[in-house]
Amino acid sequence: MSAFISDINNFLGNGKCNEEGKSLEKFLMEYDPNKYQNPSVTADILVFQKPENIYDLHKDLKLLLIQRKNHPCIGWWALPGGFVEIHEDIDKAAARELLEETGLSDIPMEQIYTFGKQDRDPRTRIVTVAYLALLELNQKVEAGDDAAEAEWFSVSIKKEFEELLEEDNIIAKHKRKRERYHIEVICEKNHDIKAEASVDYFCNVDTLLLQEDYEVIRSNGIAFDHPVFILRACQLLWKRM
């Protein structure tokens, strides 16, 4: 096969052949990208809205969710997003998916986390890059693509408990903190529509590196591991208050 990109000059290195006597061009002609299984990549977007002149981000935040109309997690509420196309930058994929699923465009977004646990989707091995957007004005949303509905939800996150865990690593014992959070989202248009989940958050407390991790303990109505996305985004916003 030919090279994935047309201009390979930036990848020549010192210009020498490899141990098999192949130039970069010949190596790429013979390279088989299907030799190993590859993950798919998606871009998902957390679009929050807050009232004007309100700066307490622990409350009054609204989150845009779409109701899935296809498997998996059919009927449950999820973040807008979708698969990155093979010749598409992830940032552009996020903007495209947001437009296709909600009608929103030209919204500034920040990449906040990469979620890559192997059991997070039954379709295939999927890695998701999460984006955060924060709006101050009311924006009309319109469901499209594979979204049955697109609605604004109020968000409530409460810490249920916190504990210290002592763990061993290759260097020494260290302490990790576990915090459990309860997340509830309620539809602004119809308060009878609600969903909730519990998420555990882990991080080191006595080392320079946090080594953060998340785990969905249970979920009722929030699709995939998106409760983790919601907690991660809110943690970031709280730090910036």
Residues annotated as part of the active site: 149
What values do phi and psi take at 100, rounded to 5?
-65, -35
H/E run at residue 165: strand 147-168
* Matching residue, tokens 């991080």: 203
Q: Both tokens of residue 222?
A: 């929030």
CB 181 within 8 A of CB 157: yes
Sign of CA dihedral 89, 93, 99, 102: negative
What values do phi and psi take at 228, rounded to 5?
-65, -40
Residue 130: closest CA among 225, 27, 13: 225
